[in-house]
Structure 1
């Protein structure tokens, strides 16, 4: 699936996600999440759950970009390291690259940035179970 097809799929299946799919292909995706006051925690930073949502959505999108619309692929593991404080007034970007795409499992890594800053704010790895055909 390309970025446009993924955007349609996410809008239909996960309208609550509110992520923009900027790039998809070759086992790589880039997602953007517009940040506003709903996404902040005390102290003026993007909340951990928002960054975890981005990591999970990016992994899912990367898998779908390679396999097509497999709605029942599910997260089996997600590990995240929060590296530095994201900007409260900037969107966040999640770049995901698949490490392994097998018949039953997919593994990927996600790096999350605040727009305009090259230093990552979080790094995640995750595994998805792919339903048998």
Structure 2
């Protein structure tokens, strides 16, 4: 592929990527695992929209009020304090408000260390 075409593609993608994370919000963030006793039902790796959560996935669950705020299924999210881009793959019980739950595979200790904190997210 010609280097000029690659550069053109990068230039064209730049504004779209900037727009992708133009919204900001401070939320309460906790962490969860796909271990027995966490989540609803018998298959603790099955998310609300039918995705199977696999350790290493960068997935989050969102409180249902955040769905209307644009954090819908598949939305890409940057989370303060975490590297990479995370994706909305699950939704939480209706009792929660302004909250995300970060999926940390099967590492219970890592989830406990994360605890509960306020973070800024961009989406």
TM-score range relative to shorter protein = under 0.3
TM-score by length of 1: 0.27
TM-score by length of 2: 0.28
Find the structure with the greater CA-based Rg: 2
Higher relative contact order (CA 8 A, sep 6+): 2
Structure 1 or 2: more strand by fraction: 1
